[in-house]
């Protein structure tokens, strides 16, 4: 559950605050937002953290200057998340630009694109120097893997699937008169493709953590990117975890991409089930409408036409006697 801080304050007037790398520059973009094709200005506005934090403003407290989205109510909040999850990456960027909000998603996208340029164009002998400079540049905004020094991926300083999309860089939003904090105020690093669900949007709300099954992973390689598809479960439902990483020399970074595959499950309890797996717009976990009891705790799986949008390579694999864990 997200932490809730209830503040008895009136909603603030519309102020579009653009967060730069220094977290202090602001611009007034009210006219542009009011004329947006999305017609969202009546239900969503860009406010400042300082107007919703308890206590008095401290000039040395940078949090007061950070922009935060203010949603009129919970219905608008959840509808916005649902709408954004159906958008491509480019459409998300346009949405937030028209809203005038540089939050978690926008800032992360900018940093990730810069890191992509390093991985795609840098000489391997320059990687350590360039990534070192990159981490110094973004250390105020993001967290870097404390357990794997060769993971250059920028991670949020918090863990919350929804707020990594609509939250500010600290993971906060305002709904009604309530300032909502992320589920965890610590990052979740990507430790293992088959065991860890990252903070990307999950297909289905309020799901428990993904559990990958042993020896149930298929992979494809497109240039310097390796994509994996792991069969597992979310609670009592079968699920699939997708993951893509670029690797150059010893260094690696996570990549957001779109996935598709055809998955057949069969066992002594069910001859064959057919599920076309489509993971739209970078979702990394896809939950099947199929419960564990229907198939049983031991089953076979056929993966066909596994591919992602960053390349044309196709993965296929047959799995026998997978054990549900």
Question: Whole-angstrom Cα distance, residue 181 to residue 79?
Answer: 19
pLDDT at 5: 38
Decide: helix, strand or coil at residue 75. helix
- CA distance readout (Å), 123 to 12, 111, 129, 207: 49, 20, 11, 42
Total number of residues shown for the chain: 325
Residue given tokens 């293992």 in the structure block? 192
pLDDT tier at 256, thresholds 50, 70, 90: confident
CA neighbor of 174 nearest in space, from 68, 40, 79, 99:
68
The span from the CA of 187 to the CA of 193, in Å, is: 17
Determine the Cα–Cα distance for residues 219 and 260; give it in Å rounded to an integer: 13
Q: What is the pLDDT of residue 40?
A: 52
Average the pLDDT over each of 23-27, 184-188, 319-323 and give the range with the smallest value: 23-27
Characterize the bridge pairing of strands 237-248 and 225-234: antiparallel
What ranges do the domains of the chain cover?
4-180, 210-323
Instruction: Please determine, for residue 203, whether its predicted confidence score (pLDDT) is greater than 50.
Output: no
- How many C-beta atoms surround the C-beta of residue 213 within 10 A? 19
Distances (CA, A) of 293 to 235, 237, 269, 280: 12, 9, 9, 27
CA 156 to chain centre: 9
The DSSP code sequence of 92-152 is HHHHHHHHT---HHHHHHHHHHHHHHHHHHS-GGGHHHHHHHHHHHHTTT-B--SS-TTB-
CA-closest candidate to residue 232, choices 287, 159, 192: 287
Distances (CA, A) of 201 to 159, 236, 309: 11, 19, 18
Segment 52-66, tens digit of pLDDT = 987 655 544 667 889
Say if strands 173-175 and 67-71 run parallel, antiparallel, or are unpaired: parallel
For CA atoms 54, 57, 59, 64, the dihedral sign is: positive
Residues 13-32: pLDDT tens digits? 333 333 343 333 333 443 33
Report whether 275 contacts 229 (CB < 8 A).
no
Q: Check if the beta carbon of residue 315 is closer than 8 Å to that of residue 219.
A: yes
**CA–CA–CA angle 10, 44, 179 (5° rounding):** 50
Q: Does the structure show a pLDDT above 80 at 163? A: yes
Res. 121 pLDDT band, cuts 50 70 90 = confident
Least confident span in 159-168, 200-209, 235-244, 289-298:
200-209
Q: May I ask the CATH class of domain 210-323? A: mainly beta
Residue 90 burial (CB count, 10 A): 10
User: What is the model's pLDDT at position 238?
Assistant: 95
| pTM score of the predicted model | 0.72
Higher local confidence (pLDDT), 242 or 4: 242
103 touches 69 (CB < 8 A)? yes
**pLDDT for position 267:** 96
């Amino acid at each position: 559950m997200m932490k809730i801080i209830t503040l008895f304050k009136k909603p603030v007037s519309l102020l579009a605050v653009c967060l730069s790398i220094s977290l202090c520059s602001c611009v007034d973009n009210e006219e542009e937002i009011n004329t947006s094709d999305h017609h969202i200005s009546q239900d969503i506005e860009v406010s400042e953290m300082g107007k919703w934090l308890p206590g008095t403003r401290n000039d040395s407290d940078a949090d007061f200057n950070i922009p935060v989205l203010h949603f009129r109510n919970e219905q608008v909040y959840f509808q916005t998340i649902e709408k954004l999850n159906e958008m491509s990456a480019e459409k998300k960027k346009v949405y937030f630009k028209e809203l005038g909000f540089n939050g978690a998603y926008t800032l992360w996208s900018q940093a990730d694109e810069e890191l992509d340029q390093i991985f795609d164009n840098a000489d391997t002998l320059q990687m350590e120097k360039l990534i070192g400079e990159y981490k110094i540049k973004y250390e105020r905004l993001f967290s870097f893997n404390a357990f794997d020094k060769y993971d250059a991926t920028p991670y949020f300083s918090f863990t919350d699937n929804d707020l990594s999309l609509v939250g500010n860089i600290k993971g906060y939003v305002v709904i009604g008169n309530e300032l909502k904090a992320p589920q965890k105020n610590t990052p979740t690093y990507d430790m293992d493709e088959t065991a860890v669900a990252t903070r990307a949007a999950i297909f289905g709300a309020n799901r428990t953590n993904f559990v990958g099954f042993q020896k149930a992973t298929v992979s494809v390689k497109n240039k310097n990117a390796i994509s994996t598809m792991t069969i597992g479960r979310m609670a009592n439902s079968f699920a699939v975890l997708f993951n893509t990483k670029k690797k150059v020399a010893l260094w690696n970074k996570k990549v957001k991409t779109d996935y598709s595959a055809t998955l057949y499950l069969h066992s002594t309890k069910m001859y064959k089930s057919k599920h076309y797996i489509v993971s739209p717009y970078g979702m990394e976990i896809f939950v099947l409408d199929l419960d564990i009891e229907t198939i049983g705790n031991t089953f076979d799986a056929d993966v066909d036409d596994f591919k992602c949008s960053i390349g044309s390579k196709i993965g296929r694999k047959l799995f026998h006697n997978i054990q549900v864990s």
